[in-house]
Amino acid sequence: MKKKLLSISGVLIILVIALFSVFAKQGGQQDVKHGFYTQNDDEIPEEYIEISNNCRYTGINLSDKKLLTIENLLPEGKMSLDKYDHRYFVLGYSNKHKQSGYCAWILTKYMVRNKNVKRENLFREDTSLKCCMSYNSDYNRSGYDRGHLCPSGDMTWDKNANRETFLLSNICPQHKKLNQGRWNDLEILSRAWAGKNDSLLIITGPVLEPNKGTIGKGKVTVPSAFYKILIDISSPKCKAIAFIMDNEPVKQRLFTYAVSIKEVERRTGLNFFPEYDKNSLIQSLERMCDTTDWK
C-alpha cells in the first residue's frame, strides 16, 4: 500500500513540475511579446507586399547622397515651428497647437536589431520647451491616445533614447483605433524596412489645419490626419514613400494610404528640402510614390 502511495505521489510531483514548466514557458513568451517588437527584421508581412494602383517604382540615381540629411529634409512653412534637437530625433514644435508639426530621425538596421530596452510608458512634460507645453492631464479622459511621432519601438536600442520618446512634445492626440491599428502597422513595417535596407530618413507629424478641435484645459489641438515620409538612403537607387492617414479608424490595406512627398506638402503646407526646390533630383524624389521596391 505504501509503495502504491509513493508511486502515485511521484507521478503527481512529475505532473506538477511539467505543468509549471509549461506555464513558465508561456509566461516568458508573453513577457517578450509585450516588451519587444517581435517581427523578424528581414521579413515583410505578405499582406504588405502589394502594388498600389496609383504608385509605381521610379527610383533615381542620386550620386551626391550628402543631400539626404535630416538637416536638409527639415521643412519650412507658414506655421511657426521651433526646432528642438533631442539628440535621437529633431522636433519642430508649435506653441499654438501644443505639439510638434514634425519629428525627424534616422532609423538603421543596428537600431532595430538591438532590442535592449523595455517600454516604460514614462509620459512626461518636456521642460526644455520655451512655452506652451502640454500635460498628461490634457489627455486624461479625452477619448484620444497619446500617440507617438517617433515610436518607442524605434528606440529600443538605448534606454535614454527610448525615454526621450515619451516626452509629450513627441506626442499627439491620436484616435485609439488608428494608434493601435494601421498606424502601428506602418511603424512595424518601417522597422522591417530599416532592417532590410539598412538606413532610413524618417519624418512624421500631424495635419493640424484643418483640425478636430482641442482637448484638455491646455487646449491641445486634435489633428485631422497624420503623415509619415520614409527615404531609403542606403540603396544604389534612392527611393521614397509617404503615407497620410485620417485621425480615425482606417481599415483599408496599408498601401491604400501611400502618397508622394509632394502630396504631404500640399496637405500640410510644409516644404520639405526647402533649399533644394530647384534641384531636379530632389524634386524627382519628392514626386515619387513608390510601393514596388520596398520589399
Average pLDDT, the chain: 82
Tell the burial category of 263 from Cβ atoms under 10 Å away from its Cβ (0-12, 13-18, 19+): middle
Query: For the ranges 98-107, 115-124, 174-183, which has the lowest average pLDDT?
Result: 115-124
Q: Quick one: pLDDT band at residue 278, thresholds 50, 70, 90?
A: very high
User: Can you list the alpha helix ranges (DSSP code H) found in the chain?
Assistant: 2-35, 70-73, 109-113, 136-139, 159-164, 176-179, 182-197, 261-268, 280-287
Q: Do β-strands 76-77 and 270-271 pair in parallel, antiparallel, or remain unpaired?
A: antiparallel
Instruction: Specify whether the CB–CB gap between 154 and 183 falls below 8 A.
Output: no
Q: What is the pLDDT of residue 65?
A: 56
117-135 mean pLDDT: 94
pLDDT-above-70 percentage for the chain: 76
User: For 57-93, what is each residue's pLDDT tens digit?
Assistant: 334 455 555 788 999 999 999 999 999 999 999 999 9
Instruction: Specify whether the CB–CB gap between 204 and 227 falls below 8 A.
Output: yes
Q: What is the pLDDT of residue 286?
A: 94
Q: What is the pTM (predicted TM-score) of this model?
A: 0.80
User: For 23-67, what is each residue's pLDDT tens digit?
Assistant: 333 333 222 222 222 334 444 444 433 322 333 333 445 555 578
Residue 146 in this model has a pLDDT that exceeds 90: yes
- Class of the CATH-defined domain 41-287: alpha beta
User: For 211-227, what is each residue's pLDDT tens digit?
Assistant: 999 999 999 999 999 99
Query: Which of 197, 164, 179, 195 lies closest to 89 in space, CA to CA?
Result: 164
Phi, psi of 218 (to 5 degrees): -80, -5
User: For 232-263, what is each residue's pLDDT tens digit?
Assistant: 988 667 889 999 999 999 999 999 999 999 99
Q: What is the pLDDT of residue 137?
A: 97
- DSSP structure class, residue 134: -
Residue 18 in this model has a pLDDT that exceeds 80: no
Task: Write out the DSSP string of 224-275.
Answer: EEEEEEEEE-SSSSBEEEEEEEESS---S-GGGGEE-HHHHHHHH-EESSGG
Q: What is the pLDDT of residue 61?
A: 52
Task: Write out the DSSP string of 103-127.
Answer: EEEEEEHHHHH----------B--T
